[in-house]
Homo-oligomer: A and B are copies of this chain.
């Protein structure tokens, strides 16, 4: 079995679920529903078995041939199953006497079908969603029954097959889990129910169409962002270069807010390399709640931009200026396209996670900035 897509972000696993629903494959979704001890992944972690391949991972690489076997059975039967695994029993412990294969995990195996559509629709719309799945019940036919919670409209979505008596006591837990992107299994006496708060990925919007955009898009996607590009010019060449999963919006600075929803979970890198286009873009973004606008180019260019905005009577509040980052990226040194992309995507990730991006290790004193080798 090929597991070359072991390390992919969750976005790719859910893209695979979408493709399976649309009939491109017969796939089995595997979700961690419970963990005892210190396992590599937490409840909610997902992987997808599609034919001979797998996407994502639910362990550190332990027992995967075993999971493949069960996934095959589920693909044939179409019936969901929960299986418990003691990972330290991995005789094929690829990490040696390591800490990689530890703990006990319960995995839910489900054949992917139309009933998963609300999950992928929400995810792709950028909406969080709560997924409630019956793992065990007195009435065996209820196993695998699923309900959804949509926080943006505060609505539960179920069908007749879902045993409502298992939902009522969990309403508050579902709302909370969805809000915090947390996942947990609840024992309700006669039923066991898994509540999975699936958070939509944050968005990375890169404004520009030059070759230097490509590595930013690539690393942003690998870092777990849903990435899109806004091309004011040169749209066809960048569209040809990027994978289909990346949306390219062809528009103008004045119309960009109609093309893209610039919300609190959207991070923007402005890199059109056209002074006027960049300035108009910054002016537009300042009126939105985006928490991060990285403006590529030298500091002097940015200052000229602020001057030009002031000449138009646009004066930025301190809170607005705090959201603008120029020079863009972290101070890593290096000027190659990938090194720049690394510094930008690292910065966006740190801001998104509310982190101050220094060394995790305690340092006795900072490394004094010297001329880069």
A residues neighboring B (CB under 8 Å): 3-4, 6-10, 57, 60-61, 94-100, 181, 199, 209-212, 214-215, 219, 222-224, 232-234, 237, 241, 272-277, 297, 301, 318, 322, 324-334, 336-339, 342-343, 345-347, 349-361, 363-364, 366-373
Contact = CB atoms under 8 A, between A and B. Distances in A.
Contacts of A6: 211, 214, 337
Nearest to A208: B95
Contact of A356 (B211, B331, B343): B331
Contacts of A4: 241
Given A367-B354, A369-B356, A95 B234 contact: yes
Nearest to A237: B94
Contact of A353 (B9, B277, B372): B372
Contact of A94 (B234, B338, B373): B234
Contacts of A358: 330-331, 356-358
A9 B333 contact: no
Contacts of A342: 219, 222-223, 342, 345-346, 349
A345 B237 CA distance: 30
25 contacts: A57-B211, A60-B211, A94-B237, A96-B233, A96-B273, A181-B373, A222-B342, A223-B338, A325-B360, A329-B360, A330-B360, A332-B353, A333-B350, A333-B354, A334-B349, A342-B346, A343-B349, A343-B360, A346-B346, A353-B373, A354-B368, A355-B372, A356-B367, A356-B368, A356-B369
The listed residue with most B CB atoms (<10 A of its CB), out of A8, A297, A357, is A357
Contacts of A8: 338
A223 B338 CA distance: 6
Contacts of A60: 210-212, 273
Contact of A349 (B234, B326, B333, B354): B333
Contacts of A199: 373
B354 A370 contact: yes
A96 B346 contact: no
A255 B354 CA distance: 42
Contacts of A241: 4
- The count of identical subunits is 2
Contacts of A339: 223-224, 349
From A7, A94, A212, A275, name the one whose CB has the most chain B CB atoms within 10 angstroms: A7
Given A224-B334, A331-B350, A333-B352, 14 more contacts: A3-B211, A8-B338, A94-B237, A99-B273, A100-B273, A224-B338, A326-B360, A328-B360, A331-B357, A332-B350, A342-B349, A343-B346, A347-B359, A354-B370
A301 B332 CA distance: 28
Nearest to A337: B7
Nearest to A277: B96
A350 B276 CA distance: 33
A357 B334 contact: no
A337 to B, nearest CB: 4
A211 B6 CA distance: 7
B349 A332 contact: yes
Given A96-B273, A232-B96, A366 B356 contact: yes
Contacts of A332: 346, 349-350, 353, 355, 357
A339 B202 CA distance: 14
Contacts of A212: 7, 60
B211 A222 contact: no
